[in-house]
Amino acid sequence: MIIAVILWLGIACGASVLMTRYSTCPGTDGTAPVSWPGDSQLSFDGHRNTLLMFLHPHCPCSRASLGELDRLLAQVSKPPSVELVFLKPDGTPSDWAETDLWRSASAIPGAKVYCDKGGLEARRFNAATSGQTLLYDLEGRLRFQGGITVERGHAGDNPGRTALRELLQEGHSQQTKTPVFGCELFEDQCQKGNLLCKP
């Protein structure tokens, strides 16, 4: 009985350590282009800042990213143009990207939702992890890249949201890059819609 209890505690502790490590391990850090790509089909707004967020429609971590974005937009007096870009790999059903996460994104006031067929735009902007957020200014210059959660699926104050708020309200921030916490966009098991996709 004692041995069984010790084994159970060991397994429970090990699983807890692995889950903590997973939740605090950032995804692949893709470096976004410093200028808006001229061949992009996404909407660039020359009258205000343009914010992009790249999302995997089956990533449970990204619900927190959308929540943080919604909070950010409510905090700023000059909201940017927002486009939420959902990956849809080739060969997937027509409604593959239209998940509950897609519907939550569609409910964010002022945000446009884009279906990225084949991941062309994600590759064009070097986005590799769900939740990766980019901010471009009126001249098409990259001002921020990174995530707006402090760990996977965790809502709350974080450096990314703070930096974006400063950039949108004051035009500058000391922080222009943060880690992204989410599922890999192009990993095989993620493309199949596995809810436990990992980097």
In a domain, 179, yes or no: yes
Domain count, the chain: 1
Q: How far is CA 182 from CA 15, 27, 130, in A?
A: 19, 6, 5
| CA dist., res. 120 & res. 88, Å (int) | 10
Q: Name residues of the chain where pLDDT drops below 70.
A: 1-27, 151-154, 188-199
pTM exceeds cut of 0.85: no
Domain enclosing residue 141, as ranges: 2-191
How much is the pLDDT for 157? 82
| CA dist., res. 158 & res. 160, Å (int) | 6
| CA dist., res. 192 & res. 56, Å (int) | 11
In a domain, 17, yes or no: yes
* C-alpha Rg value of the chain to the nearest Å: 18
In a domain, 48, yes or no: yes
In a domain, 74, yes or no: yes
How much is the pLDDT for 29? 75
In a domain, 196, yes or no: no
In a domain, 199, yes or no: no
Look at residue 57 and give its three-state secondary structure. coil
How much is the pLDDT for 3? 65
- The residues, any chain, with a CB within 8 Å of residue 190's CB and separated by 6 or more, are 56, 58, 59, 183, 184, 197
How much is the pLDDT for 199? 35
How much is the pLDDT for 188? 55
Q: What is residue 171's DSSP assignment?
A: S
First CA to last CA distance, the chain: 38
Read off the CATH number of the domain in which 35 is found.
3.40.30.10
